[in-house]
Amino acid sequence: MTDATSQKTDTLTAEELAAIEEKYDESAATRPVSPGFARFLKVVALSFATYHYLTAGFALPTDHWHMGWHLSGLFILTYALFPAIRTRGTYDLKTGLMHYGGVPYLDILLMGLGVASALYLGFAWRGVPWLGIEEQTFRMGNPNGYDMLFGSILIVLVLDIARRTLGWVLPAIICVFMAYALFGPVFPGILQHPGVKIRTFVSSMYFPQEGIFGVTLWVVSTIVFHFVLFGVIAQRTGLGQLFIDNATILAGRYTGGPAKVSVVSSAFFGTISGSSVANTVSTGALTIPNMKRLGYPGHFAGGVEAAASAGGQITPPIMGAAAFIMAEFLEVPYTTIVIAAIFPALLHYVGVFSVVHLMARRLNLQGLSKEMLPRLGAVWREGWANMVPLVGLLVVLFSGYTPYMSAFCGISLAIVTGMARRSAPVTLAYPAAFIAFVVWKCTGGGFDLPMSALLVALTLLGSLNPQERIRLPQMAETFETGVKYALAVGAAAAAVGIVVGVINTTGVGFRVGFMVTQSAGELGASLHSLLSFGRFELFSVTDITLFISLIFIAVACILMGAGIPTTALYIMLVSVAQPALAQLGVPPIASHMFVLYYGVVAEITPPVCTSAYAAAAIANSNPFRTGISAFTLGLGKIVAPMAFVYAPVLLIVSQTGFDLWTFSYTATSCILGVICLSVAVVGYWLAPMGALFRVLLAMAGLVFIAPSLQADLIAALIAAPAVLSQIVLRRRTTEAG
């Protein structure tokens, strides 16, 4: 097959890529509706996006109204677009007596009940005397009949929209939590509790501060949606392509060029996208076919892209929704989470990059020719303006303003950069409007003078964008896409709020955490006796107990992560991990990051690994084998959590303090460990490596992760035979050559 024919076969159309993303993303395939109903949904989606955009910049309504409007939009769009029973393949437009515009009347009824139950709370907050409804303060813990009716409806419908968008796994687990709250006396041992009365349960789940209207829905409706929307708009205006072009320039000409481009571009793209599947499809459309043409096996090419793209949720500054919720749980600024995530994300990409480089050397794969590389001058001459929105967002975010204000400024600058041009004077209304907003905030004390001047300068720069401008219908379609991306995470946040309510009501997190530490302590005591020789002990009981506890929690994260979004998984498991690890002296931010990382690992762990399946569809490779490749490539993300639990200094902002020397030494040790594991996975460093030496290097890599000089010396001794054998083999090969 010629190169041209191969390229034609490997390259997928935009429609095929969209179908792949739709199939494997959390917001699965949607059903078609009639043109009239589609126009109605378009109005709803644009109103939904515009409402969130404007309230982020000007003022948020009270929480119960704000979250009520957000839930109303979720109910309308989810019941219109997602059928009651999900099937594989495409859906046909259904008409008839039982349908309106392609949507069953039952779903329209549920849509109306959902909107009514979401808005009732705001309507009845101050009381409705003519209906006999008292002010909410007097109904807390003692709901009236209306509260019970609408609260019960909301609980059922929230579980239903989570099931429609995400499948059965998450609602089933939430139902187990609900059963635990209601039927506490039937549970054995330490899990037993008096039980929660149904009226108390509905009140806890329905009224704000906990339950459905709690912190998870507040964070998604107030922060996460805006960053999702920013990522979609920035990608549409050309920032994603700028990242890919620069990654190609940086890494394309080296050994295994296209694979390294995949890693670097996914790292760049991860800074604006919290979705692993969207990252996989966006960058994989270019990198996977290029890797296959270079000589990489299809399953490995897909695994590279999936492993690199899974880093999107842990790559600062715009991480996944769980990172924003973590900031609320820990009661720290979001920028603290961003700083803490820097080195762990770097460690993940070092691992993927190392495996890619070694595999390229093993297969003797060369980089791209000079003619195939984009020209640095041309790329930046055309695309420099696309950096303006990201710079504006980051400056506002790190200057101490709220995340939603930074997102508002980022979205505004993205609109200006994409749509405003001097050649079309009417479009200059966009920069004029944002400059007027900045001036208004400055005069009111919202922005200081330097920040105002910077935002005005960025606005003027953005309007000088030399690229073709985006028309209003195209931008409206982009806003619609952003809303659809946010449906699944919104449904998950509302549903998992029930879990938070149950945990707060019953204290099950502390109970399970105690069980974990108790089991780990008993097992640790048994192992300690085996690893001790008189007064000499290899490890203390505390060290062994902590390690076993971490293994228990990591396995639970990976097992429960099969089919559950990272955000929901994080919220459920951190309630267990935090009490358990706190008893063992682990700082809160380290335990929260530990759970988040293993929740992301679940996305590339077979048998359920959505990112790998999306990559396999592009690579036309075996999905399971692609998942195995992605898992082995993501070893850096697997060992990183262990490293920062034992050495919180790697998170920079941990309560244990920061010391530059300790950080540098520990970081170097961890990187060496990841490189050793990468060599063991590939079976090649300077020359092909046998099974025994691969095992030795794998053991050395794990020991290197332990942050101590003693552990590093032991690791060096373990790795020495493998390293020496490689040097000897390389010398022999050179002499023979």
DSSP H helices in 58-104: 63-81
The mean pLDDT value for 472-498 works out to: 89
- What is the pLDDT at residue 18? 62
Average pLDDT score over the chain:
84
Q: Does the pLDDT at position 5 exceed 60?
A: no
At 276-301, the pLDDT tens digits run 676 777 777 777 887 787 777 888 88
C-alpha 80/C-alpha 103 separation (Å) is 6
- Determine, yes or no, domain membership for 710: yes
- What is the pLDDT at residue 4? 39
User: Which range of residues forms the domain containing residue 696?
Assistant: 680-737
Give the model's confidence band at 534: pLDDT under 50 very low, under 70 low, under 90 confident, else very high: low
Please answer whether residues 483 and 48 qualify as being in contact, where contact means their C-beta atoms are separated by less than 8 angstroms: yes
Give the model's confidence band at 2: pLDDT under 50 very low, under 70 low, under 90 confident, else very high: very low
CA distances (Å), 401 to each of 341, 388, 406, 583, in order? 20, 18, 7, 34
- What is the pLDDT at residue 16? 63
- What is the pLDDT at residue 567? 77
- Determine, yes or no, domain membership for 73: yes
Lowest mean pLDDT among 272-276, 316-320, 527-531: 272-276
Neighbours of 322 (CB within 10 A): 30
DSSP per residue, 32-55: ---HHHHHHHHHHHHHHHHHHHHH
In the block, tokens 């690893």 appear at 531
- What is the pLDDT at residue 241? 82
* 317 prior amide bond cis, ω within 30: yes
- What is the pLDDT at residue 274? 59
Give the model's confidence band at 10: pLDDT under 50 very low, under 70 low, under 90 confident, else very high: low
The mean pLDDT value for 294-313 works out to: 81
At 684-712, the pLDDT tens digits run 888 888 889 889 998 888 888 877 778 88
C-alpha 344/C-alpha 275 separation (Å) is 18
Strands 532-533 and 536-537: antiparallel
Q: Taking Cα atoms as reference points, which of 378, 399, 387, 308 lies closest to residue 604?
A: 308
At 505-515, the pLDDT tens digits run 888 877 888 88
C-alpha 400/C-alpha 387 separation (Å) is 21
Neighbours of 56 (CB within 10 A): 24
Q: Does the pLDDT at position 348 exceed 80?
A: yes
Q: Does the pLDDT at position 51 exceed 80?
A: yes
- What is the pLDDT at residue 619? 83
- Determine, yes or no, domain membership for 373: no
- What is the pLDDT at residue 8? 39
- Determine, yes or no, domain membership for 711: yes
C-alpha 700/C-alpha 576 separation (Å) is 31
Lowest mean pLDDT among 261-275, 287-301, 632-646: 261-275
C-alpha 535/C-alpha 102 separation (Å) is 76
Residue 133 β-bridge partners: 128
Please answer whether residues 241 and 467 qualify as being in contact, where contact means their C-beta atoms are separated by less than 8 angstroms: no
C-alpha 572/C-alpha 718 separation (Å) is 39
Q: How far is CA 713 from the centre of its chain?
A: 36
- Determine, yes or no, domain membership for 134: yes
* 120, 139, 170 - which closes a domain: 170
Residue 439 β-bridge partners: none
Compare 134 and 255 and report the one with higher pLDDT: 134
DSSP H helices in 271-330: 276-294, 298-309, 321-330
Q: Does the pLDDT at position 27 exceed 60?
A: no
C-alpha 387/C-alpha 385 separation (Å) is 5
Q: Which residues contact 219 (CB under 8 A, 6 or more apart)?
A: 321, 324, 325, 328, 493
Q: Does the pLDDT at position 372 exceed 90?
A: no
In the block, tokens 């959505």 appear at 610
The mean pLDDT value for 552-580 works out to: 76
Both structure tokens of 58? 């000007």
Q: Does the pLDDT at position 269 exceed 80?
A: no
Please answer whether residues 237 and 414 qualify as being in contact, where contact means their C-beta atoms are separated by less than 8 angstroms: yes
Which range in 10-19, 28-37, 110-119, 188-197 is most confidently predicted, on average pLDDT?
Answer: 110-119
* 170, 205, 238 - which closes a domain: 170
At 387-440, the pLDDT tens digits run 999 999 989 988 889 889 999 999 999 999 999 998 889 999 999 999 999 999
Which range in 336-350, 574-588, 590-604 is most confidently predicted, on average pLDDT?
Answer: 336-350
The mean pLDDT value for 613-638 works out to: 80
- Determine, yes or no, domain membership for 109: yes
Q: Considering its fold, how many domains does the chain have in total?
A: 2
CA distances (Å), 88 to each of 203, 523, 620, 623, in order? 38, 45, 18, 16
The mean pLDDT value for 25-51 works out to: 84
Q: Taking Cα atoms as reference points, which of 422, 387, 436 lies closest to residue 238?
A: 387
Cα angle vertex 678, ends 673, 681, to 5°? 130
C-alpha 162/C-alpha 563 separation (Å) is 12
Q: Which residues contact 96 (CB under 8 A, 6 or more apart)?
A: none
Lowest mean pLDDT among 146-155, 243-252, 668-677: 243-252
Residue 684 β-bridge partners: 688
Neighbours of 187 (CB within 10 A): 16
C-alpha 486/C-alpha 491 separation (Å) is 9
Both structure tokens of 154? 């909301």
C-alpha 571/C-alpha 664 separation (Å) is 32
* 147, 170, 193 - which closes a domain: 170
Q: Does the pLDDT at position 77 exceed 90?
A: yes
Please report, rounded to a whole number, the percentage of residues in the chain having pLDDT higher than 70: 91
H, E, C per residue of 634-671: CHHHHHHHHHHHHCHHHHCCCCCCCCHHHHHHHHHHHH
- What is the pLDDT at residue 66? 94
Q: Which residues contact 707 (CB under 8 A, 6 or more apart)?
A: 643, 646, 647, 666, 669, 670
- What is the pLDDT at residue 29? 62
The mean pLDDT value for 146-172 works out to: 91
C-alpha 58/C-alpha 52 separation (Å) is 10
- Determine, yes or no, domain membership for 550: no
DSSP per residue, 165-202: HH-SHHHHHHHHHHHHHHTGGGS-GGG------HHHHH
Q: Taking Cα atoms as reference points, which of 491, 540, 551, 533 lies closest to residue 167?
A: 491
Q: Taking Cα atoms as reference points, which of 86, 84, 78 lies closest to residue 111?
A: 78
What's phi and psi for 316, nearest 5 deg?
Answer: -65, 160
- Determine, yes or no, domain membership for 583: no
Q: Does the pLDDT at position 476 exceed 90?
A: yes
Cα angle vertex 259, ends 256, 260, to 5°? 85
Please answer whether residues 30 and 312 qualify as being in contact, where contact means their C-beta atoms are separated by less than 8 angstroms: no
C-alpha 637/C-alpha 639 separation (Å) is 6
Q: Which residues contact 344 (CB under 8 A, 6 or more apart)?
A: 314, 593, 597, 637, 640, 641, 643, 644, 650, 651
Q: Does the pLDDT at position 359 exceed 50?
A: yes
Let me know how long the chain is: 737
Please answer whether residues 479 and 46 qualify as being in contact, where contact means their C-beta atoms are separated by less than 8 angstroms: yes
- What is the pLDDT at residue 6? 42
Q: Does the pLDDT at position 655 exceed 80?
A: no
CA distances (Å), 134 to each of 64, 125, 145, 209, 488, in order? 16, 8, 12, 19, 35
Q: How many CA atoms lie within 13 A of 659 on its CB side?
A: 7
